[in-house]
């Protein structure tokens, strides 16, 4: 049985005159936890947008969850993919509370003309409980801290019941303690829900310890890939970042606070 959930072949993505992704090929198996690292502008986020159908391929092919990625089936695909971006600036006066924001995760699968039922609200409450912010459910979303907002975003992705979990720098711009808690949560969800997870970061300190494969991106290409032990070396990392780079685990960082499952 073919266990491949993501298959990208010779993908090229271009934003006007800039080529964001060049000849990228990637195969991801069901249940894998993949870390994607690289300097800013390496094409990490663009790679995620190709997977969820938001990035337009100029060349090449992509197949995700058995569906060809094209402009026509983007919404159908995204219903099955959870996406958590980095903390964004939220208007504190937005007329939507945390519980309603998490419920948005159900709306794609629910479809037009269908209203959420009691079962959907119960699913939302369970997700809020799981990410530890059930007590904030009635609070306006714009009143949350960065760490709390990311928990709400993860809860929203959870209620979507996704098969693939895309995390785009989910711990950027939040304090170290919140980073550690979010990483622990991602670890727990990946294992409990048997999901396929792709975790993007440009900060090696935020790389979860459960990462099975590491993809190193540079200048829009997959530069190298392999197990974290083979990739996180003093020879490879300075070349990737074009700067002296310390190896995580050797410094006291968020990921050095390894958690046990």
Smaller CB separation from another protein, 111 or 244: 111
Smaller CB separation from another protein, 153 or 204: 153
Smaller CB separation from another protein, 93 or 252: 93
| Residues linked to residue 225 through DSSP beta bridges, in sequence order | 215
**Residue 106 CB-half CA count within 13 A:** 20
Smaller CB separation from another protein, 112 or 243: 112
Residue position matching structure tokens 């519980």: 99
Q: Which residues bind another protein (CB under 8 A)?
A: 15-16, 52, 54, 75-81, 83, 85, 91, 93-97, 100-101, 103-105, 107-110, 112-113, 115-116, 140-141, 153, 156, 160
Cα torsion for 84, 57, 219, 18, to the nearest 10°?
-110
Strand residues in the chain grouped as ranges (E): 4-15, 18-29, 33-37, 57-64, 67-68, 81-84, 164-168, 196-201, 213-218, 221-226
Of the candidates 71, 67, 139, 73, the one whose C-alpha atom is nearest the C-alpha of residue 102 is 139
**Rounded-to-integer distance, Cα 180 and Cα 191, Å:** 17
Of the candidates 21, 152, 158, the one whose C-alpha atom is nearest the C-alpha of residue 97 is 152
Distance of closest approach, residue 60 Cβ to another protein, in angstroms: 21
Distance of closest approach, residue 96 Cβ to another protein, in angstroms: 4
**Rounded-to-integer distance, Cα 155 and Cα 150, Å:** 8
Distance of closest approach, residue 94 Cβ to another protein, in angstroms: 5
Distance of closest approach, residue 36 Cβ to another protein, in angstroms: 17
Distance of closest approach, residue 221 Cβ to another protein, in angstroms: 23
Smaller CB separation from another protein, 135 or 258: 135
């Amino acid at each position: 049985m073919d266990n491949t959930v993501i298959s990208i072949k010779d993908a090229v993505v271009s934003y006007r005159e800039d080529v964001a992704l060049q000849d990228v090929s990637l195969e991801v198996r069901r249940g894998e936890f993949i870390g994607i690292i690289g300097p800013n502008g390496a094409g990490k986020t663009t790679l995620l947008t190709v997977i969820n159908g938001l990035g337009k391929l100029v060349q090449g092919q992509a197949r995700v969850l058995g569906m060809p990625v094209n402009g026509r089936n983007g919404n159908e695909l995204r219903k099955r993919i959870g996406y958590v971006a980095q903390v964004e600036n939220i208007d504190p006066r937005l007329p939507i509370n945390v519980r309603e924001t998490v419920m948005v995760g159900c709306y794609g699968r629910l479809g037009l003309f269908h209203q959420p039922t009691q079962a959907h609200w119960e699913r939302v409450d369970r997700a809020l409980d799981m990410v530890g912010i059930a007590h904030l459910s009635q609070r306006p979303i714009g009143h949350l801290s960065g760490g709390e907002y990311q928990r709400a975003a993860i809860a929203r992705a959870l209620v979507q019941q996704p098969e693939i979990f895309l995390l785009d720098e989910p711990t950027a711009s939040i304090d170290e303690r919140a980073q550690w808690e979010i990483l622990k949560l991602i670890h727990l969800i990946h294992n409990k829900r048997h999901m396929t997870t792709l975790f993007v970061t440009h900060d090696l300190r935020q790389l979860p310890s459960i990462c099975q494969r590491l993809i190193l991106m540079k200048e829009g290409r997959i530069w190298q890939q392999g197990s974290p032990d083979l990739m996180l070396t003093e020879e490879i990392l300075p070349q990737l970042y074009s700067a002296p780079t310390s190896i995580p685990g050797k410094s006291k960082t968020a990921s050095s606070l390894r958690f046990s499952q």
